[in-house]
Amino acid sequence: MSNMNQAMVEKYRNDFLKEVKANVEEGDWVQMCMQCGVCSGSCPFGPYWDHPPQELFMMIRAGKREEVLSSNSMWMCTSCYNCIARCPRELPITHIMHGLAHYADRLGLAPKEQPTRKFANRFWDNLVKKGRVNELKLGVSLYFMNGFIEGIKTAMAAAPLGMGMMKAKRLSPMEYFGGHGVKDSKGLDAILKKARQIEDEKIAKYNS
């Protein structure tokens, strides 16, 4: 168990809703869910969620901490915003799902092999490196996220598409060497570092 997870368990004991409200982005809204199920019925990946949003909200209130945070479910969010547009109580459900996923990952409870968890982390690492996304490197890192052998297979399968994209000048092998980026990367790094620091301090304060 990660240190942060241990600390949270001790701090909140059986009050998982309180923990979510304090630590999850837009978590304050969870208690407003009226269990109508419109979100679950509106989700394009609905059939693949172990627990659709409405169920997650009830589980949070019921204190099912492990089951929620180690769940595959919120990683199924495609950010289509159907649930936000349709929720009669105007819960920012998309953001709560992102917030739960981020929090679970931070605590080390998210399923390690969850493909969207891996991809979303690689996307963030890719963009902060130079301030802009390097699509080629992101693609290559994606192919190899399940190991080298699997990666060669995936890359081979995707090769025709890659060639098509290069022919259409929508992908360039030159991106592997340098590629696009911001000029003031020092400034951007400093901003992101400070933002992270403020956020960490805030979480520490809630939990002291």
Report the interface residues with other proteins, using CB under 8 A.
25, 44-45, 48, 76, 78-82, 84-86, 94, 98-99, 101-102, 105-106, 115-121, 123-125, 127-128, 131-133, 135, 142, 160-161, 164-165, 168-172, 174-175, 180, 182-184, 186-188, 190-196, 198-199, 202
Six-digit token string for 111: 């399923």
Q: Smallest distance, Å, CB 16 to other proteins?
A: 20
Q: Smallest distance, Å, CB 80 to other proteins?
A: 4
Among residues 63 and 131, whose Cβ is nearest to other proteins? 131
| Distance (Å, whole) CA 27 – CA 5 | 17
| Distance (Å, whole) CA 128 – CA 113 | 23
Q: Smallest distance, Å, CB 56 to other proteins?
A: 16
| Distance (Å, whole) CA 173 – CA 165 | 11
Among residues 58 and 119, whose Cβ is nearest to other proteins? 119
| Distance (Å, whole) CA 146 – CA 141 | 10
Q: Smallest distance, Å, CB 10 to other proteins?
A: 22
User: What string of DSSP letters covers 98-128?
Assistant: HHHHHHHHHTT-S-TT-HHHHHHHHHHHHHH
Q: Smallest distance, Å, CB 131 to other proteins?
A: 4
Among residues 149 and 168, whose Cβ is nearest to other proteins? 168
Q: Which residues contact 108 (CB under 8 A, 6 or more apart)?
A: 1, 2, 4, 5
Among residues 63 and 132, whose Cβ is nearest to other proteins? 132
Among residues 63 and 144, whose Cβ is nearest to other proteins? 144
Q: Which residues contact 115 (CB under 8 A, 6 or more apart)?
A: 145
